[in-house]
Structure 1
Amino acid sequence: MVSSTEERGEFALGWKVLFASVLGVACGASPLPFNVIGFTVEPLIAEFGWTRTQILMPVTIFGIIASLLAPFSALWRINMAYGKWRSIRYLPSGSPLRWLR
Protein backbone atom coordinates (compact mmCIF):
# COMPACT_ATOMS: atom_id res chain seq x y z
CA MET A 1 0.00 0.00 0.00
CA VAL A 2 1.17 3.51 -0.80
CA SER A 3 0.72 6.08 1.94
CA SER A 4 -1.07 9.35 1.27
CA THR A 5 2.15 11.38 1.43
CA GLU A 6 3.81 9.18 -1.19
CA GLU A 7 0.85 9.60 -3.56
CA ARG A 8 1.10 13.37 -3.51
CA GLY A 9 3.87 15.04 -5.42
CA GLU A 10 6.64 17.22 -4.06
CA PHE A 11 4.95 20.42 -5.22
CA ALA A 12 1.64 19.45 -3.65
CA LEU A 13 3.34 18.92 -0.31
CA GLY A 14 5.51 22.03 -0.30
CA TRP A 15 3.62 24.71 -2.21
CA LYS A 16 3.00 26.81 0.91
CA VAL A 17 6.71 27.01 1.70
CA LEU A 18 7.50 27.77 -1.95
CA PHE A 19 4.88 30.52 -2.07
CA ALA A 20 6.14 32.11 1.17
CA SER A 21 9.72 31.99 -0.13
CA VAL A 22 8.83 33.61 -3.44
CA LEU A 23 6.83 36.30 -1.66
CA GLY A 24 9.66 36.97 0.79
CA VAL A 25 12.28 37.26 -1.93
CA ALA A 26 10.05 39.45 -4.11
CA CYS A 27 9.19 41.87 -1.30
CA GLY A 28 12.41 41.76 0.70
CA ALA A 29 14.75 44.70 1.23
CA SER A 30 17.42 43.40 -1.11
CA PRO A 31 15.59 42.96 -4.45
CA LEU A 32 13.31 45.98 -4.15
CA PRO A 33 15.89 48.58 -5.24
CA PHE A 34 16.84 46.49 -8.26
CA ASN A 35 13.24 45.84 -9.29
CA VAL A 36 11.92 49.37 -8.77
CA ILE A 37 14.81 51.58 -9.92
CA GLY A 38 13.99 51.18 -13.60
CA PHE A 39 10.57 52.76 -13.10
CA THR A 40 11.91 55.67 -11.07
CA VAL A 41 14.91 56.79 -13.13
CA GLU A 42 13.06 58.96 -15.64
CA PRO A 43 10.89 60.75 -13.03
CA LEU A 44 13.99 61.45 -10.91
CA ILE A 45 15.84 62.86 -13.91
CA ALA A 46 12.87 65.09 -14.75
CA GLU A 47 12.31 66.25 -11.16
CA PHE A 48 15.85 66.85 -9.91
CA GLY A 49 17.95 67.05 -13.06
CA TRP A 50 20.23 64.24 -11.93
CA THR A 51 22.11 62.11 -14.41
CA ARG A 52 21.41 58.41 -14.84
CA THR A 53 24.82 57.66 -13.27
CA GLN A 54 24.02 59.68 -10.15
CA ILE A 55 20.78 57.77 -9.70
CA LEU A 56 22.13 54.26 -10.35
CA MET A 57 25.52 54.55 -8.60
CA PRO A 58 24.11 53.97 -5.06
CA VAL A 59 22.42 50.76 -6.21
CA THR A 60 25.73 49.60 -7.69
CA ILE A 61 27.61 50.45 -4.49
CA PHE A 62 24.97 48.60 -2.45
CA GLY A 63 25.38 45.50 -4.60
CA ILE A 64 29.18 45.54 -4.34
CA ILE A 65 29.19 46.05 -0.57
CA ALA A 66 26.51 43.39 -0.03
CA SER A 67 28.44 40.85 -2.12
CA LEU A 68 31.66 41.56 -0.22
CA LEU A 69 29.99 41.27 3.19
CA ALA A 70 27.90 38.16 2.42
CA PRO A 71 30.63 35.62 3.35
CA PHE A 72 31.14 37.33 6.71
CA SER A 73 27.43 37.35 7.38
CA ALA A 74 27.32 33.62 6.67
CA LEU A 75 30.37 33.09 8.89
CA TRP A 76 28.67 34.94 11.73
CA ARG A 77 25.52 32.84 11.38
CA ILE A 78 27.48 29.58 11.29
CA ASN A 79 29.48 30.78 14.29
CA MET A 80 26.29 31.48 16.23
CA ALA A 81 24.90 28.05 15.38
CA TYR A 82 27.94 25.75 15.62
CA GLY A 83 30.80 27.55 17.34
CA LYS A 84 34.01 29.34 16.42
CA TRP A 85 36.25 26.61 15.01
CA ARG A 86 33.65 24.99 12.80
CA SER A 87 32.74 28.37 11.28
CA ILE A 88 36.35 29.39 10.55
CA ARG A 89 36.86 26.56 8.08
CA TYR A 90 33.89 27.78 5.99
CA LEU A 91 35.21 31.33 5.49
CA PRO A 92 37.72 30.72 2.69
CA SER A 93 35.34 29.12 0.23
CA GLY A 94 36.93 26.27 -1.66
CA SER A 95 39.92 26.22 0.64
CA PRO A 96 41.48 23.01 1.97
CA LEU A 97 40.60 24.28 5.47
CA ARG A 98 36.98 23.50 4.67
CA TRP A 99 37.71 19.78 4.66
CA LEU A 100 39.47 19.68 8.02
CA ARG A 101 37.55 17.76 10.64
Structure 2
Amino acid sequence: AVGGTLWIRTKDTKLVSEASAKSEVLRILQPGDEVKWLGRDRSTGFHRIEVKLKGGGTCKGHVLQPNLTPTAPSSQIDYGDGKPTSTESLASDGAATRT
Protein backbone atom coordinates (compact mmCIF):
# COMPACT_ATOMS: atom_id res chain seq x y z
CA ALA A 1 0.00 0.00 0.00
CA VAL A 2 1.17 3.54 -0.69
CA GLY A 3 2.95 4.90 2.37
CA GLY A 4 3.94 1.40 3.48
CA THR A 5 7.40 0.39 4.62
CA LEU A 6 9.76 -1.56 2.37
CA TRP A 7 13.46 -2.34 2.61
CA ILE A 8 16.32 -2.26 0.15
CA ARG A 9 17.34 -5.78 -0.87
CA THR A 10 20.35 -5.24 -3.15
CA LYS A 11 23.82 -3.83 -2.46
CA ASP A 12 24.63 -0.41 -3.98
CA THR A 13 21.06 0.29 -5.14
CA LYS A 14 20.87 3.61 -7.00
CA LEU A 15 18.16 6.04 -5.92
CA VAL A 16 17.61 8.12 -9.07
CA SER A 17 15.80 11.42 -9.54
CA GLU A 18 13.48 10.27 -12.36
CA ALA A 19 11.97 6.93 -13.46
CA SER A 20 14.90 6.30 -15.82
CA ALA A 21 18.22 4.49 -15.44
CA LYS A 22 19.91 7.49 -17.08
CA SER A 23 18.66 10.05 -14.55
CA GLU A 24 20.75 11.64 -11.81
CA VAL A 25 21.82 9.35 -8.94
CA LEU A 26 20.68 10.96 -5.68
CA ARG A 27 21.94 8.34 -3.22
CA ILE A 28 23.39 4.85 -3.07
CA LEU A 29 21.30 2.61 -0.81
CA GLN A 30 22.35 -0.59 0.93
CA PRO A 31 20.53 -3.78 1.97
CA GLY A 32 18.36 -3.23 5.04
CA ASP A 33 17.81 0.50 4.41
CA GLU A 34 14.19 1.27 5.31
CA VAL A 35 12.13 3.23 2.76
CA LYS A 36 8.56 4.45 2.37
CA TRP A 37 6.83 3.25 -0.82
CA LEU A 38 5.10 6.04 -2.76
CA GLY A 39 3.90 4.12 -5.81
CA ARG A 40 4.94 2.48 -9.07
CA ASP A 41 5.54 3.99 -12.49
CA ARG A 42 3.60 1.54 -14.67
CA SER A 43 5.46 2.40 -17.88
CA THR A 44 9.05 2.01 -16.60
CA GLY A 45 9.00 -0.52 -13.75
CA PHE A 46 10.54 2.00 -11.38
CA HIS A 47 9.06 2.55 -7.94
CA ARG A 48 8.95 5.93 -6.20
CA ILE A 49 10.27 5.85 -2.63
CA GLU A 50 11.21 8.17 0.20
CA VAL A 51 14.31 7.64 2.32
CA LYS A 52 14.94 9.18 5.74
CA LEU A 53 18.30 10.94 5.90
CA LYS A 54 20.63 10.48 8.86
CA GLY A 55 20.75 14.20 9.65
CA GLY A 56 16.97 14.52 9.46
CA GLY A 57 14.82 15.24 6.45
CA THR A 58 13.98 12.95 3.56
CA CYS A 59 14.99 12.26 -0.03
CA LYS A 60 12.50 11.12 -2.69
CA GLY A 61 13.50 9.22 -5.80
CA HIS A 62 13.07 6.05 -7.84
CA VAL A 63 14.47 2.51 -7.68
CA LEU A 64 13.78 -0.62 -9.72
CA GLN A 65 11.35 -3.11 -8.16
CA PRO A 66 13.84 -6.02 -7.79
CA ASN A 67 15.79 -3.84 -5.33
CA LEU A 68 12.84 -3.68 -2.90
CA THR A 69 11.52 -6.24 -0.45
CA PRO A 70 8.52 -6.21 1.91
CA THR A 71 10.50 -8.35 4.35
CA ALA A 72 12.31 -6.65 7.21
CA PRO A 73 16.04 -7.31 7.33
CA SER A 74 17.15 -10.40 9.17
CA SER A 75 20.44 -12.13 9.52
CA GLN A 76 20.57 -12.74 5.77
CA ILE A 77 23.15 -11.36 3.38
CA ASP A 78 22.40 -10.87 -0.32
CA TYR A 79 25.48 -11.27 -2.48
CA GLY A 80 23.59 -10.07 -5.56
CA ASP A 81 23.08 -13.57 -6.96
CA GLY A 82 19.43 -13.70 -5.89
CA LYS A 83 20.14 -16.25 -3.17
CA PRO A 84 20.19 -14.75 0.34
CA THR A 85 22.71 -16.46 2.59
CA SER A 86 22.16 -16.60 6.33
CA THR A 87 25.00 -15.59 8.63
CA GLU A 88 24.50 -18.91 10.42
CA SER A 89 25.34 -20.89 7.27
CA LEU A 90 28.46 -18.81 6.73
CA ALA A 91 29.61 -19.60 10.26
CA SER A 92 28.79 -23.29 9.89
CA ASP A 93 30.88 -23.68 6.75
CA GLY A 94 33.85 -21.95 8.35
CA ALA A 95 33.72 -18.84 6.16
CA ALA A 96 33.02 -16.53 9.09
CA THR A 97 35.38 -18.01 11.66
CA ARG A 98 38.61 -16.53 12.90
CA THR A 99 41.88 -18.21 12.19
TM-score between the two structures when normalised by the length of structure 1: 0.27
Q: Which has the higher contact order (CA 8 A, sep 6+)?
A: 2
Instruction: Kindly indicate which of the two structures has a greater share of residues assigned to helix.
Output: 1
Which structure is larger by alpha-carbon Rg, 1 or 2? 1
Instruction: Kindly indicate which of the two structures has a greater share of residues assigned to strand.
Output: 2
